[in-house]
Structure 1
Amino acid sequence: MSKSNTIGIVGGLGPYASMDTAEKVFLNTIANKDQDHLPLIMISRPCDIPDRSSYLLGKTKVNPAYEIIEIIKELENAGANIIGIPCNTAHALPIMSVISNDLRERKSKVVLINMVDEVIKFITNYYPEVKRVGVLSSLGTYISGLYRESLTEAGYDAVFPSEYDQYHKI
């Protein structure tokens, strides 16, 4: 990654997840002085982004993708060219497909990091002997089948809590 790249973080989808992501960027940057750190912009507006699980569970018809898109546009306008959304549930197809379509239609040059793909790359690279992967997630992520489908396609056996535990032990 060159110094000209600026990382953008769509924050507020779990405000602590956003801060944790920013911290991981800083902790994993080789820097001897402040100026050696990668430029990073985070916009965190949790009050503006509807609950992802509620949308996926059909409790609301308001797709959070549209507010996420507005924040992505702001990050782009501020100079971000690599953007991450530190929220598994936001990567569910009914949300992420709207975001991806918007980027494509606007001919955006932004690179949007796919969290699920990155998790699978991490497992493959650092734990090549692993074939079964346990997944703990929000109810929306569980219902969407996001990890089940992606892990299965990558050749892994995805293991989840029982449906009873997933629904009743929150």
Structure 2
Amino acid sequence: MYTKDNKLLKIAKELLQKVLDDYPDNNLEKSSVYKTFGDIFLLEKNLEKAIEYYRKAIDFEKVYPNVKTNSDIIYSELIIKNKLTNEYLNVEKILEEKISGLLFPIDKYKVFSMLAILNYYNSNIQTAKGYALLANENAQAETSGLRYHKHLGIVSERDDFFDRIINKL
């Protein structure tokens, strides 16, 4: 997939579809397949299809909560960065549900940034400021909090889109 070669992306999509078709009861990998489809469509600049497949992964993970990808974060980021305001309420719900399970500073930075943006959009300025503060704290974290993998999941590069908005708060 990461070759970004169109011929190989086509083959990857065919193989992913084969997994879905030949193993319809394989609930262990279905969410990852949907997420990978989303990744491929995103590489192909097909935003509508990418969002569709990330949404499928999110919906699947609601039914099978032990199977997780980061589709919810990618989906939310696409919605917010493309200003698809009709989905903001849904994204806010997804992100608020995700907070308690966040482990890595990078995920916390992204989720809190997006929640700050959503609350700012909804004129909840105080709540937006609180989330912006949490986003900045996590962006500056120097360790992950994990004993043996102290630098796993730390923010190595901040997101300009997020920072432009949260730094105004």
Determine if the TM-score, normalized by the shorter chain, exceeds 0.5: no
Q: More helix by proportion, 1 or 2?
A: 2
TM band (smaller chain): 0.3 to 0.5
TM-score, normalised by the number of residues in structure 2: 0.35
Q: More strand by proportion, 1 or 2?
A: 1
Q: Which has the higher contact order (CA 8 A, sep 6+)?
A: 1
TM-score, normalised by the number of residues in structure 1: 0.35
